[in-house]
Structure 1
Amino acid sequence: MKLALLSDLHANRQATEAVWEHAQEQGINQVILLGDYVDYGGDPAWVVDFCRDLVRQGAIAVRGNHDDALSPETTSRMSDHVLPTLQWTESQLSPDQLAWLRDLPLTAELGDCLFAHANVHDPAHWEYLHGRMEASRSLFATHHRYVFCGHVHEPCLYHLSPTGKSGEFSPVDATPMPLSPARRWLAIPGSLGQPRDGNPAACYATFDTEQAILTYFRVPYDQEMAAHRVLTSGMPAPVAQALAERLIHGR
């Protein structure tokens, strides 16, 4: 089975359409959605409906912190600079769409794979996996051989040996990486809708569960149109300008 791992779509329709077209060319059998479908981008309703359709067709989806923050009980946990875009996002979504986001699980599993948005050792508190120490903490928290998370907005790959020694790899675009069965692995495919590693191309990954081969991809898309959608969305102007520039420059 070949998985398509999509994370941090962030209401970016143009990037989502480009990645979806690319993923279908890879012969995928199962879609995994790793959270943060909304906020920052100009098309939250479209992206939510796109993801809901995928779930109805059998995709697995987990909740991200921006999805979670649309609940009245949780918005106060977000930084002040995020609140204006969250408020705008909420105004664009129907009660049914908001309920769908809030009802998504924090984690999901498929065979020897475990999925979460931020981490698996404490998924409800959204701690970032910024390095080997945090990645190892998540790997020690589960018996699954393969863990997949989002949240970081940069593609990363960590591993843990049977003796507890950790390591990491820097993914290379479109280069298949066999994952040794002697190790356990935590992969972050990067952000589809808002990359932050200096490369504005959308990120996603595929994983062949039978051959244990992971492949990261960067997919060019129409960033100018995505930025235009943000600038004309009705978000507060200073915030919209900053978000549009981030899409153009990828940081």
Structure 2
Amino acid sequence: MRIAFISDLHSNIYAVESLEKDLKKRDVDKIICLGDIVGYGANPVEVVEWVKENCDFSLRGNHDTLVSDAEPINMHNPYTLKAAFYNSEVLQEKHKEFLRSLEKDYEDDEMVLTHDEPCIPGSMEYITKIKEAKDTFSAFNQNYCFYGHTHIAGIFEKDNEEVNFIKESFIKLDPAKRYLINPGSVGQPRDKDPRASYLIFDKGKLTLEFIRVEYDIEKAAKDILNANLPQLFAFRLYRGV
């Protein structure tokens, strides 16, 4: 089975449309979204509709929680709140209800899925450093944890007590090792590569393929500015930061 993992779409329909075109060439069996469907961008309705129609499973990220008022959440950045208010005003109640219906995490015998980190899903903690990854590995027993939130594609590999960060486009997984795996962000990458990011996990071959996709950044940025959202959210799209 080939599973496409996507995350952090952030109301960027132009990135999502390019993602969809690329997925059609990749022969995937399932699409899993790791959350933050909305927020930051100017096209939440189109993106929520796309997720509802195309994703086999989706989690609720912190921006989804904020926009849909699913539960109390401690987010105070004024730029983030302005974008959340816009997203909430644009979305219909049926879209918010969909976001509220999503779980914050999932696990089975093989893998853990979470938006931020598996210790306390919904805590909004980031896994970006070796020390953070080492602590996080103690929170689950499965070989694989797929997560988003950081907008940075790559994996932490644990071999006995040693943990390393790996950033390669194609990786063969070792069943004797454990992994924290982040597909990066579709709608707002922050690893200095502005292209939309996602990955394909081939369960049979035990491989990960990280894929980058060009999209019309100009249109996405223009929509953000036309919606009177913070300029930061438009300008950072060009630089991938």
TM-score, normalised to structure 2, is 0.94
User: Which secondary structure state, in structure 2, belongs to the residue aligned with residue 130 of structure 1?
Assistant: coil
Give the equivalent residue in structure 2 for 1:193. 187
Q: 1:20 offset after TM fit, Å? A: 1.5
Query: Does the alignment pair 1:214 with 2:208?
Result: yes
Matches within 5 A, 1:163-174: 163-172=160-169
Partner of 1:11: 11
Q: Is the 8 A contact 1:75 1:83 kept in 2?
A: no
Distance 1:141 1:219, change over 3 A: same
CA distance in 1, matches of 2:42, 2:218: 12
State the 1:199 CA deviation: 1.4
Cα pair distance change 1:113/1:76, threshold 3 Å: closer
Structure 2 SS opposite 1:124:
coil
Gaps of 5+ in 1: none
Task: Determine the structure 1 residue equivalent to 2:232.
Answer: 242
The Cα of 1:156 is off from its aligned counterpart by 1.8
Alpha-carbon separation, structure 2, partners of 1:73 and 1:2: 33
Provide the rounded CA distance (Å) in 2 between the counterparts of 1:90 and 1:233. 13
2-structure distance, mates of 1:75, 1:178: 38
After the TM superposition, which segments of 4 or more aligned residues of structure 1 sit over 4 Å from their partners? none
Give matches, 1:72-91, under 5 Å.
73-91=71-89
Alignment correspondent of 1:106? 104
**CA–CA distance in structure 2, aligned partners of residues 60 and 106 of structure 1:** 12
Say if 1:155 and 1:171, in contact at 8 Å, map to a contact too. Answer: no
Give the whole-Å Cα distance in 1 for the aligned partners of 2:101 and 2:70.
14
Provide the C-alpha distance between the structure 2 equivalents of 1:92 and 1:181, rounded to a whole number of angstroms.
Answer: 45
Asked if 1 retains the 8 angstrom alpha-carbon contact of 2:147 and 2:182, the reply is yes
Q: How does 1:1-251 map to 2 (within 5 A)?
A: 1-55=1-55, 59-70=56-67, 71=69, 73-109=71-107, 112-161=110-159, 163-172=160-169, 176-235=170-229, 239=230, 241-251=231-241
For residues 19 and 31 of structure 2, the distance between their equivalents in structure 1, rounded to whole angstroms, comes to 12
Decide which moves more: 209-218 or 135-144: 135-144
Range with bigger deviation, 18-27 or 68-77: 68-77
Query: How far off is 1:41 after superposition?
Result: 0.8
CA deviation after TM superposition for structure 1 residue 75, in Å: 4.9
1:3 maps to amino acid: I
Using the TM superposition, give the Cα deviation of residue 134 of structure 1 relative to its aligned residue in structure 2, in angstroms: 1.7
218-227 vs 70-79, which deviates more?
Answer: 70-79
TM-score (norm 1): 0.91
Contact kept? 1:205, 1:215, Cα under 8 Å: yes
Q: Which 5+ residue runs of structure 2 have no aligned equivalent? A: none
Report deviation, 1:77: 2.9
Give the aligned length: 240
Q: CA deviation at 1:24?
A: 2.1
Contact 2:65 2:71 in 1 (8 A): no
SS in 2 for 1:217: strand
Q: Distance in 1 between matches of 2:168 and 2:66?
A: 30
Please say if residues 70 and 100 of structure 2, whose CA atoms lie closer than 8 Å, have aligned partners that are also in contact. Answer: no
Hey, what's the Cα distance between the residues in 2 that align with 1:107 and 1:127? 14
Q: What are the Cα deviations for residues 205-228 of structure 1, in whole angstroms up to 9, with x where unaligned?
A: 100011110010111111111111
Aligned letter for 2:50? Answer: F
